[in-house]
Amino acid sequence: MVSAPDYFLEHLWLIPLFPLITATLMLFVGRLLPKSAVNFFCVGSVLLSFLHAAGAAIALFGMNPEHRVFQQILFEWVTPGPIPGFGGPIPFVADWGYLLDPLSCVMILVVTGVGFLIHVYSIGYMAHEGGYYRFFGYLNLFMFAMLTLVLANNLLLLFVGWEGVGLCSYLLIGFYFLKKSASDAGKKAFLVNRVGDAGFLLGVFFIASIFGTIRFTSQGLADPVAFAGINETLSAMLTQERLVYGAPVLTTIALLLFVGATGKSAQLPLYVWLPDAMEGPTPVSALIHAATMVTAGVYMVARTNAIYQLAPVAMDVVAVVGALTAIFAASIALVQNDIKKVLAYSTISQLGYMFLALGVGAFSAGVFHLMTHAFFKALLFLGAGSVIHALSGEQDLRKMGGLWNTVPNTSRPFLIATLAIAGIPPLAGFFSKDEILGQAFARSATVDRYLFLWIVGIITAGLTAFYMCRLLFLAFFGLSRVSPEVEHHIHESPRTMTVPLMILAALSIVGGWFALPTLWGEQSSFEKFLEPVTKGVIPETVAVKFAHHTLLVEWLLMGISVGIAGLGIWLAYKAYVQHPELHSKLAASWPRLHNVLLHKYYVDEIYDAIFVNRIKDLSVAFGVFDGKVIDGVGVNGAAWLTRVLSRMSMWWDKWIVDGLVNLAGTFTRSLSHPIRLLQTGVFTSYAVFILVGLVILLAYYGHHMQVLVRSLR
Amino acid sequence: MSPTTQAVLQFLQAYWVELVCGVVIVAAVPLVAGYAVLVERKLMADMQARLGPMRVGPHGLLQPIADAVKLLIKEDIIPRDADMLIFWFAPVISMVAALTSMGALYFGPAFRVANDINVGILFVVGVSSLGFLGIILGGWASNSHYSILGAVRSTAQLISYETAGGLAMVSALLLAGTFKIRAIVEVQSQNQVWFIFLAPVGFFMYLVASIAETNRAPFDLPEAESELVAGYMTEYSGFRWALYFLGEYANMIVVASVATTLFLGGWLRPFSNVRWLSWLDFSPVLVLVALGVYCLYRAGKQPVKVQSGFMWAVALGCFAVAALFLTPWIFSPLRFALPGLNGAFWFLLKVSAYIYMFMWLRFTLPRYRFDQLMHLGWYILIPLAIVNVFSVGLALLLEMEFGWNRWLALIVTTILTLGVAAYLVHLNDKRGAAASAAVVASDSYAG
Amino acid sequence: MMSPAHYLFLSLALFLIGCVGVVTRRNVIVVLMSIELILNAVNINLVMFSRVFGDVAGQVFALFIIADAAAEAAVGLGIIIAFFRNRETVMTDEMDLLKW
Amino acid sequence: MLDSIVFYFFAGIAVLSAALMVTRRNVMHSAVFLVTTLLSIAGIFLQLRAEFLFVTQIIVYVGGIMVLFIFVIMLVRLDVPLHQMRFRFQRLVALLVAFALGVEVLVILLLARKLPGAGLFVQSTAPVSKLPPNSEELSRTLFSNYLLPFEIASVLLLVAMVGAVVMAKGRKRADES
């Protein structure tokens, strides 16, 4: 009999299992089930795994803070075998195991919690959609994949989850697969992710061939020696001088992994799929493309921070890419008119923030922002979805407005979320963002080029505040620009949709209070919690650590960030509430800039010109080659040759072989002709033959009898 | 005298009884047949609350003679496309077959043609089965669809039911242990029981089979006037038709006699071995006297002189025969003839009872459909007859080998047979009418 | 006074007639009937000799022959009916499917 | 004396009607003449004191087999007049062969008269009532010495029956299905 916490730890594997079971159920027999049953199974399963996750988290808190790690190997998945590595073949094994440490603990709580809320929300949102069971089946499959991803105890299993979420995002983006744009968006997301995954996979191979293991850590395992982990191997190699700080190999690995992260988390070169992904149903955007999946990259980098901390170049790359992405996306978001597009770009820029944090070494800050962002961005998306639902499918901001009192249960939480993302204290976004900026600033004290990053971050914060408030004002304030036919049936969303909104609002208020201690200059409890994961393998290197700066600086920074946020809000208020015509004037006064922003810097067009069309041309060339050379010469030539040969052999068969056979046949027939004449087939003639035989017999017999009689005489 | 005449005299001396009886039978059969027709019509009338023929003679007593005359003087039509030879020949066959089969029968302990031949019963069956050659040939020869259909039907029916009837007879023959007719009756008198009580199932199956063999209702499909005008007799008229008719009635007499011999104890009077019932030997005399008295009574009521006179004549005839039956009691030297006379009386009584049952059934039961008929024959009677033979054999085995009581054994086996019968009937009911029709369509010719 | 020769000659005559019927008639039914005739001729001999030697075996064999004849007739006629259904004829010289 | 009269009577009928049977054009006539032949042969059996065979002959042949024949004759619609025989040549050959056969057998029989053991006679007749019970003897022999052949014959009959039924209605079943 195990006690409760032990139970939750021991049955960690149940957490991904519940959604998997219901997903299978849906995909096989879902068609036959009524909606109520679908709701019961799918939402219920997610709720179950959320409860298990909570229980596991509590159990984890119960542990000793030094090694709060629980690892569980279910079975050996890829059986051990030598793989070629630097310096000869090395034993390699991948097991199907789950790892629960503070990082993954946070992740599963976010995933299952937000996921559960979004499931509940979807009941109301998808109520009138076709393919109900299909939708929930995909969602549950996604939950399974995501949980596998965050709970994986090695890179290969993580990659399984990674691909699984990719697949689900593809399926769900193309959920309305009858819409061409939707299916195209799905394909685009899939293909763009492939580019990143290639890099990620290469990174995994590098790790496997260099460290000989892909297991993250051996902590929490019975026999740490037998089950080597990356971290342990790394430290061992460092101590044995087989690796040094900033070794090119580590940089390569880190960069390759980061390529994967950019793919999955929509960072700068590969972010293009995320805006199009908004074609999917809004809950999907909320769950996959805002809260959970897109943060997989962040999670992965945080998970492998031990490597990153030893590769400063890679760290710089990450930070720069993150910062650029943040400001870039934010600038695009300024002028977008589709409500979901705006949110999509804001997501990209927030992700950029996270990578900025990771890049400057504030892993816990990044993860912290990940969590808060999950709350308020999910809330924003759901709110947007609720608005769209209320306006019966209208997504264009220019056709909204004045909804503040018509949909109160949606607009109030939306306001909270907006303030949160804009960074107004004491909401969640303020703390996490301030954390990041503070870290960046503190980093600039030691490495002065980070000052640039800090400035970018500050500007981005201002932009963020501006475009979010623009969105808020356009949607809810001012005069209503709603088209009349939609006007008269605007309606508040059902309870299943509004209740999750409120819960999320509450979360995005209190979500950031982990960081309260920073106000009086202490380490945020969240960081403390994540310490064991983020502390890296060798404390005494130049690797980034928690930056201490004085309380004064702290408050100063906070003031600056709040001030710039307020500035953004004020500008938005001016431009969209006081003088609604002002922003169009602005757009008119800088038409080129406005166009560039409106067309998202023409990135898609450039990509088409550079990559897509080239690839098309290449494939056309291949097609021509195939048709002309392979089919023409190879296949048809072979066929022609065969025809000629077979004609020859046919001639031989006909005249020589058959000829002989027929010759024999005619010979036999001519011989047997006389016998054939006897064979009339008329049985009376046969009877005559019988009689003839009888006559002959009797003649013989009579002759003998005569002889006998003579002898008697 | 020449050896030839000597031989002839020798022959006559050896075979005079046979000759006399043969002549008597050949002479009597038409008369009996005619009056059987009269009786039948009277019976029908009675059952239908009519009077029936009353014109010719008192109560139509002379009707048969009138019919015979009519038939004899009627024109004998022969269809143009008919096959002369066979058309002429066929009626004779059926008549002759019936008469010949009578040759082996015993109409009383002494009243017989052939002395007790080894295979008497078989002879009777075989020869009487020749009768339908006449039927089928006649039907074929008259070259008409009705006729040929009737012929085919009757043949199929005959074949089917002869099998069942023969097997039913086997059950009695097993009990008798011989083919000799006289021996069979003697066995019954020794066992002091008629075989109907020992083999009831066999008797009733033989009853059904014999009705079918004589083409009488409810199995009279070969001459079902509502379906094919008169069956194989359609084209016949006049004397040939009469021949067929006589053949049929003679056949009836034959089957009745066979049934009497095998199952009803032949010429034995009821309880023949019970001493104190021997007064029954007087019953012929009593019956005849009663008949005569009745005739006198009716004679008083006759409107016309002639008719009352005729009734007187009949009454006197009855008294005369009664006297004939009485003489042996008076003249002791004639005592030897007594059993013969009584036997003949009892035998004819049983035969007429049997024929009466035929008529009764005819007026009572509706006609079968042909497939139903075939079904009854092939799916119920024949299997049941086979089972019956086996069960009787089993009973005899139990009696002889295991020393059971004969009655016990027979009761047990009879119950067994009846169970099988019930099962067969159940099976038959389960078969749908359509299915049966399909089955019969092929079976009616497979005979 | 009858001698076996009488019966022998009788059966010989019937046998020959049967043979002629078999080989000359075109109607299969008649052919079958001729075969029955031949069998009967044989029966006569058997019964006669059983009579001569006072042994019943001959009659037994005659019985077997009769049974055989019955079987043969049944099968033969069945064949004839089937054949007639297919070919609408019962003439021997039209049953020459065996001819090559 | 009487015996020979009976014999010649039946023999004459047998041979005559046999000849007619073979020569008649009309199949039905042939059948009728065959019936008479069989009946007269049955008479000869009776004259040979084989009562059981006599009855069997009547029941089985006349009552069974001939009925089948007549039936089939009706079924196969042969009352249409038959056209001329086509193969006179074979007929000629057949007649010649049959004639040769007869001559040979005659010769053999005549020769046989000179062999020892010839000239034995058929026992003269006793009055029918004095005869040994033929059917009893027959059955005793049949069920003692010849039991196995008897069983085989019964099986043969069964097989023949089944075969006849199958062949006679096989086409029907094909139609039904």
| Confidence at A2, pLDDT banded by 50, 70, 90 | very low
Mutate to test the interface with D, among A704, A706, A707, A709 (most CBs of D within 10 A): A709
State what percent of residues in chain B have pLDDT above 70: 94
**Tokens matching residue B432:** 């749908």
Of B298, B324, B356, which residue sits at a domain end? B356
Is residue B112 one of the residues assigned to a domain? yes
Which of A250-254, B190-194, D171-175 tops mean pLDDT? A250-254
The CB-side HSE value for C72 (13 A sphere, CA atoms) comes to 16
Name every residue whose Cβ is closer than 8 Å to that of residue A245 and which is 6 or more positions away in sequence: A238, A310, A538, A541, A542, A543
- Nearest residue on chain D to C25, alpha-carbon basis: D22
Same domain for B193 and B125:
yes
Taking all residues of chain B, what is their mean pLDDT, rounded to a whole number?
82
Burial of D67 (0-12, 13-18, 19+ CB in 10 A): buried
CA distances (Å), origin A430, targets A528, A566, B214:
19, 12, 120
CB contact under 8 Å between D94 and A691, yes or no, is: yes
CB B370 within 8 A of CB B226: no
CB nearest C81 (choices: D11, D52, D72) = D72
> Distance (Å, rounded) from C-alpha B170 to C-alpha B386?
10
What is the rounded average pLDDT of the residues A375-394? Answer: 89
Same domain for B164 and B57:
no
0.80 exceeded by the pTM? no
> Distance (Å, rounded) from C-alpha A695 to C-alpha D98?
9
Instruction: Please report the sign of the dihedral spanned by the C-alpha atoms of residue B130, residue B135, residue B138, residue B141.
Output: negative
CA distances (Å), origin A407, targets A385, A487, A503:
12, 13, 17
Quote the pLDDT of residue A601: 82
- Nearest residue on chain A to C24, alpha-carbon basis: A684
Question: Which residues of chain A are within 8 Å of residue D112 when distances are taken between CB atoms?
Answer: 705
Same domain for B431 and B414:
yes
> Distance (Å, rounded) from C-alpha B141 to C-alpha B139?
6
Say yes or no to pLDDT of B58 above 80.
Answer: no
Q: What angle do CA B202, B206, B212 make, to 5 degrees?
A: 150
Question: Which residues of chain D are within 8 Å of residue A701 when distances are taken between CB atoms?
Answer: 108
Query: Closest Cα to residue B146, out of B78, B228, B80, B244?
Result: B228
Mutate to test the interface with D, among B18, B86, B119 (most CBs of D within 10 A): B119
Q: Which residues of chain D fall short of a pLDDT of 50?
A: 79, 81, 84-85, 172-177
Could you tell me if C92 lies within 8 Å of chain D, comparing CB atoms? no
Query: Closest Cα to residue B61, out of B88, B97, B37?
Result: B37
Same domain for B193 and B105:
yes
Same domain for B410 and B341:
no
Quote the pLDDT of residue A361: 83
Is residue B309 one of the residues assigned to a domain? yes
**Tokens matching residue D164:** 């006849």
Name every residue whose Cβ is closer than 8 Å to that of residue D100 and which is 6 or more positions away in sequence: A695
> Distance (Å, rounded) from C-alpha A400 to C-alpha A476?
7
Residue window 50-69, chain C: list those with CB within 8 Å of chain A: none
Tell me which chains share at least 3 CB pairs under 8 Å with chain D.
A, B, C
Same domain for B322 and B208:
no
Could you tell me if D163 lies within 8 Å of chain B, comparing CB atoms? no
- Nearest residue on chain C to A683, alpha-carbon basis: C92
CA distances (Å), origin B46, targets A349, A400, B362:
121, 110, 14
Query: Closest Cα to residue A416, out of A382, A391, A449?
Result: A382
CB B90 within 8 A of CB B141: yes
Dihedral (C-alpha) B395, B396, B400, B401: value to the nearest 10 degrees?
A: -60
- The SS3 call for residue B118 is coil
Which of A25-39, A108-122, C86-100 tops mean pLDDT? A108-122
What architecture does CATH give domain D1-85?
Up-down Bundle (1.20)
CB nearest D74 (choices: B14, B125, B140) = B140
CA distances (Å), origin A500, targets A40, A110, A113, A124, A283:
17, 14, 11, 11, 12
Question: Which residues of chain C are within 8 Å of residue A679 when distances are taken between CB atoms?
Answer: 98-100
> Distance (Å, rounded) from C-alpha B431 to C-alpha B440?
12
Query: Hey, which residues does A70 pair with through a beta bridge?
Result: A100
> Distance (Å, rounded) from C-alpha D77 to C-alpha D80?
7
Question: Which residues of chain B are within 8 Å of residue D74 when distances are taken between CB atoms?
Answer: 136, 140, 148, 151-152
> Distance (Å, rounded) from C-alpha B122 to C-alpha B173?
10
The DSSP line for A348-409 is HHHHHHHHHHHHTT-HHHHHHHHHHHHHHHHHHHHHHHHHHHHTTT--BGGG----TTTSHH
Is residue B8 one of the residues assigned to a domain? no
CA distances (Å), origin B286, targets A265, B322, C3, D166:
131, 8, 59, 62
Is residue C63 one of the residues assigned to a domain? yes
Quote the pLDDT of residue B187: 86
CB contact under 8 Å between A701 and D98, yes or no, is: no
Could you tell me if C26 lies within 8 Å of chain A, comparing CB atoms? yes
Chains B and A touch (3+ CB pairs under 8 A): no
Query: Hey, which residues does A97 pair with through a beta bridge?
Result: A73
Say yes or no to pLDDT of B14 above 80.
Answer: no
Is residue C48 one of the residues assigned to a domain? yes
Give B210→chain D minimum CA distance, Å. Answer: 16
Query: Closest Cα to residue A122, out of A138, A108, A145, A106?
Result: A138
Give D129→chain C minimum CA distance, Å. Answer: 17
Quote the pLDDT of residue B444: 47
The CB-side HSE value for D82 (13 A sphere, CA atoms) comes to 19
Tell me which chains share at least 3 CB pairs under 8 Å with chain B.
D
CB contact under 8 Å between C22 and A679, yes or no, is: no
Range of the domain at C80: 26-88
CA distances (Å), origin A682, targets B81, B350, C26:
34, 60, 10
Give C4→chain A minimum CA distance, Å. Answer: 19
Quote the pLDDT of residue B144: 82
CB contact under 8 Å between D59 and B125, yes or no, is: yes
CB contact under 8 Å between D79 and B162, yes or no, is: no
Domains of chain B: total: 3
CA distances (Å), origin B86, targets A674, B230, C12, D29:
48, 19, 29, 8
CB contact under 8 Å between A687 and C23, yes or no, is: yes
Beta strands at A90-100 and A70-83: parallel, antiparallel or unpaired: antiparallel
Name every residue whose Cβ is closer than 8 Å to that of residue A190 and which is 6 or more positions away in sequence: A166, A170
The DSSP line for chain D is -HHHHHHHHHHHHHHHHHHHHHH-SSHHHHHHHHHHHHHHHHHHHHHTT-HHHHHHIIIIIIIIIHHHHHHHHHHTTTTSPPPPPS-HHHHHHHHHHHHHHHHHHHHHHHHHTTSTTTT--PPPP--GGGS--HHHHHHHHHHHTTHHHHHHHHHHHHHHHHHHHHHHHHHHHHHH-
Question: Which residues of chain D are within 8 Å of residue A699 when distances are taken between CB atoms?
Answer: 104
Q: What angle do CA D91, D95, D100 make, to 5 degrees?
A: 150
> Distance (Å, rounded) from C-alpha B214 to C-alpha B154?
9
- The SS3 call for residue B195 is helix
* Exposure class string for A530-565: b at 16+ Cβ within 10 A, else e: bbbbbbbbeeebebbebbeeeeeebeebbebbbebb
Is residue C70 one of the residues assigned to a domain? yes
Could you tell me if C100 lies within 8 Å of chain A, comparing CB atoms? yes
Domains of chain C: total: 1
* Exposure class string for A679-702: b at 16+ Cβ within 10 A, else e: ebebbbbebbeebeebbeebeeeb
The answer to whether ipTM exceeds 0.85 is no
> Distance (Å, rounded) from C-alpha A173 to C-alpha A296?
18
Range of the domain at B24: 19-73
- Nearest residue on chain A to C91, alpha-carbon basis: A682
> Distance (Å, rounded) from C-alpha B421 to C-alpha B168?
14
**Tokens matching residue B351:** 């035969």
Same domain for B182 and B97:
yes
pLDDT per residue as tens digits for the range A68-126: 888 888 888 877 666 666 656 666 778 888 999 889 999 999 999 999 999 999 998 88
Same domain for B95 and B40:
no
State what percent of residues in chain D have pLDDT above 90: 14
DSSP 8-state assignment for residue A293: G
Name every residue whose Cβ is closer than 8 Å to that of residue D61 and which is 6 or more positions away in sequence: C36, C40, C66, C69, D38, D42
Is residue B121 one of the residues assigned to a domain? yes
Is residue C78 one of the residues assigned to a domain? yes
Of B54, B73, B92, which residue sits at a domain end? B73
Taking all residues of chain A, what is their mean pLDDT, rounded to a whole number?
86
pLDDT per residue as tens digits for the range A182-201: 988 999 999 889 889 999 99
Same domain for B148 and B260:
yes
pLDDT per residue as tens digits for the range B433-447: 555 555 555 554 443
A78 phi, psi to nearest 5 deg: -95, 110
Name every residue whose Cβ is closer than 8 Å to that of residue A610 and which is 6 or more positions away in sequence: none
Quote the pLDDT of residue A496: 86
Quote the pLDDT of residue D176: 47
Largest Cα separation within chain B, whole Å, is: 77
Name every residue whose Cβ is closer than 8 Å to that of residue B263 and which is 6 or more positions away in sequence: B172, B194, B195, B196, B199, B202, B203, B206
CB C22 within 8 A of CB D101: no
pLDDT per residue as tens digits for the range A513-566: 888 777 777 778 888 888 888 777 765 544 445 555 677 888 888 888 889 889
Name every residue whose Cβ is closer than 8 Å to that of residue B414 and which is 6 or more positions away in sequence: B199, B200, B201, B391
Same domain for B263 and B114:
yes
What is the rounded average pLDDT of the residues C31-49? Answer: 90
**Tokens matching residue B111:** 């009243």
CB contact under 8 Å between B179 and D135, yes or no, is: yes
Give C84→chain D minimum CA distance, Å. Answer: 7
Quote the pLDDT of residue A390: 86
CB D47 within 8 A of CB D11: no
pLDDT per residue as tens digits for the range A629-676: 888 888 889 999 999 999 999 999 998 899 999 999 999 888 888 777
Give C24→chain A minimum CA distance, Å. Answer: 7
Is residue C57 one of the residues assigned to a domain? yes
Is residue C81 one of the residues assigned to a domain? yes
Question: Regarding predicted confidence, which is higher, A263 or B431?
Answer: A263
Give D154→chain B minimum CA distance, Å. Answer: 15
